[in-house]
Structure 1
């Protein structure tokens, strides 16, 4: 039987199920439920804004968008978003997805924490960010009905203390690679979490460069 939440059908084809099984087995319940809610809010945002998108790819993207925070990437030199995008790309290639579509997923995941860019790209890229940002910081919260929000949270709960626990999960995934937060909202996470963290300053980098003037 198809599972429908807030009027949105959860993909249950073989590839979607493989992604679900993988993420469920490698991420905490907090992050797994966040991924599901992000998909649902993204799909509802598409309906609200009359956007045409690939439901299956939005689902896969939502599943993988925070994979780069996992312990597997503790030695990674990349932004966690890039690690997640790379993991999604590998997964989609294993399932024979078209390279053009894979590239779109990669960009959507890589940019999902970068404000002001995704909404100017494709529908899929914009919806990946829209779904995540709604669940994380309530972006356009009132554009969703109370019934939609309640049904989604009832199906995939925001556990007690979700906000602080999410920030901690982000921080744990980045504290070993603080340089990757430069120029992104991730710098705010480490600034709150790690008392030893010092932000890079763009103006300081310019003025302190090797150029004589």
Structure 2
């Protein structure tokens, strides 16, 4: 179960207000996939920090928070820092949420170096493009998808990334689209 701290509950409120139902469910699934992966691999992580980061990691794909100057993960990280400070977190904890969101779109971060960034990378790569399918048992998949269905997430997310790629050709979304992201998203076994 997600944490029930004030910051976690506030992150749910922000996500519920600004995400489409498909993006909201993606963020909730990302938390659950990451927590499940951590349990299976004995990865210790900060549950509240990971949850808030998972809930806010795509907020800059939404119209109110889309930056026309920086990549969505950078803009989302900045917003997570503001959110964390406003939630009463020390600046260094807020900076960790920022870092996790930025790093989830970078090269792999080892769990031993940064467990929360690693979990968000694994979880979002699975939910978006079906990577590491062997890590997620069919019964766990069915349970998570029953609770938080995809609701056309793949096509909605692809449209967001293609839009980001057109406007921000140097960003991680453009790199993902340019390296066959559409094919991977459309082949995701979670949509089968």
CA RMSD in angstroms comes to: 2.4
Alpha carbons 2:57, 2:73 under 8 Å: kept: yes
Choose the corresponding residue for 1:71, options 38, 63, 67. Answer: 63
Secondary structure of the equivalent of 2:171? Answer: helix
Q: 1:75 to 1:64 in 2, by over 3 A?
A: closer
**2:176 maps to what in 1?**
185
User: Once the 2 structures are TM-superposed, how far is the Cα of residue 155 of structure 1 from its aligned partner?
Assistant: 0.3
User: Once the 2 structures are TM-superposed, how far is the Cα of residue 186 of structure 1 from its aligned partner?
Assistant: 4.7
1:96 aligns with 2:88: yes
**2:20 maps to what in 1?**
28
Q: 1:165 to 1:96 in 2, by over 3 A?
A: same
Q: Between 27-36 and 181-190, report the one with greater CA deviation.
A: 181-190
User: Once the 2 structures are TM-superposed, how far is the Cα of residue 173 of structure 1 from its aligned partner?
Assistant: 4.0
Question: Cα deviation per residue 1:94-140 (whole Å; 9 max; x = unaligned)?
Answer: 11213332222212110212233455631111111111111111222
The runs of 5 or more residues in structure 1 that have no matched partner are: 1-8, 193-213
Matches for 1:1-213 after TM superposition, within 5 Å: 9-117=1-109, 119=111, 121-160=113-152, 162-181=153-172, 184-188=175-179
Q: State how many pairs are aligned.
A: 183
User: Once the 2 structures are TM-superposed, how far is the Cα of residue 165 of structure 1 from its aligned partner?
Assistant: 2.4
User: Once the 2 structures are TM-superposed, how far is the Cα of residue 171 of structure 1 from its aligned partner?
Assistant: 2.2
Alpha carbons 2:34, 2:122 under 8 Å: kept: yes
**2:189 maps to what in 1?**
none
User: Once the 2 structures are TM-superposed, how far is the Cα of residue 17 of structure 1 from its aligned partner?
Assistant: 1.3
Q: 1:35 to 1:132 in 2, by over 3 A?
A: same
Structure 1 CA distance for aligned equivalents of residues 67 and 94 of structure 2: 25
Q: 1:118 to 1:93 in 2, by over 3 A?
A: farther
More helix by share: 2
Q: Between 70-79 and 39-48, report the one with greater CA deviation.
A: 70-79
Decide which structure has the larger Cα Rg and report it: 1
Secondary structure of the equivalent of 1:179? Answer: coil
Structure 1 CA distance for aligned equivalents of residues 40 and 181 of structure 2: 34
TM-score (norm 2): 0.84
Structure 2 CA distance for aligned equivalents of residues 94 and 25 of structure 1: 17
TM-score (norm 1): 0.77
**1:203 maps to what in 2?**
none
